[in-house]
Amino acid sequence: MYYLKTESSFDAAHFLAGYEGKCRNLHGHRWRVIVEIKGDALSNVEQTRGMLVDFSDIKNALKKECDLLDHSLIYEKGSLKEKTLEAMREENFNLNEVPFRPTAENFSKYFYEKLREKGFEVHRTEVYETPNNCAAYEEI
């Protein structure tokens, strides 16, 4: 089995609704995302001969997903009052609503699924919320 890894990052704010602690408040992170893909055969196509995939393909796919979240407020659907959202939209803030609590654990599955949808055979994703705290997702 062959494995390739690439990584990207984005800066974004979030908060954890219903959490009793510091993370219930709006705060930001430099999120670091690592994707590992796998495959048992290398390409025979001339351009990519001897490669699992072209690194630029997986790198660009991950970067596009990260860029969508970069410099935004990521919030869980239903966690903010409509009046709050209206005021933020009036200020032209970059808002990203997600259907899950925006934790590193949920983001690890989110990126796994996004890159699978793009046709990559994803083995594992890791999302670092801080340099020392990482969550990972892989299917068995």
Query: Which residues are CB-neighbours of 67 under 8 A, at least 6 positions away?
Result: 10
Q: List the beta bridge partners of residue 135.
A: 127
Determine whether 129 is an active site residue: yes
CA dist., res. 72 & res. 40, Å (int): 38
Cβ contacts of 123 within 8 Å, gap of 6 or more: 3, 36, 37, 38, 138
What is the count of structural domains for the chain?
1
- Domain that residue 88 falls in: 2-137
Annotated catalytic, 27?
no
Distance CA 140, CA 110 (A): 16
Catalytic residue, chosen from 27, 71, 86, 121, is: 71
pLDDT tens, per residue, the chain with 140 residues: 999 999 999 999 999 999 999 999 999 999 999 999 999 999 999 999 999 999 999 999 999 999 999 999 999 999 999 999 999 999 999 999 999 999 999 999 999 999 999 999 999 999 999 999 999 999 98
Query: Annotated catalytic residue: which of 65, 76, 126, 129?
Result: 129
**Domain holding 47: CATH number?**
3.30.479.10
pTM of structure = 0.95
Given the residues 7, 23, 105, 123, the one annotated as active site: 23
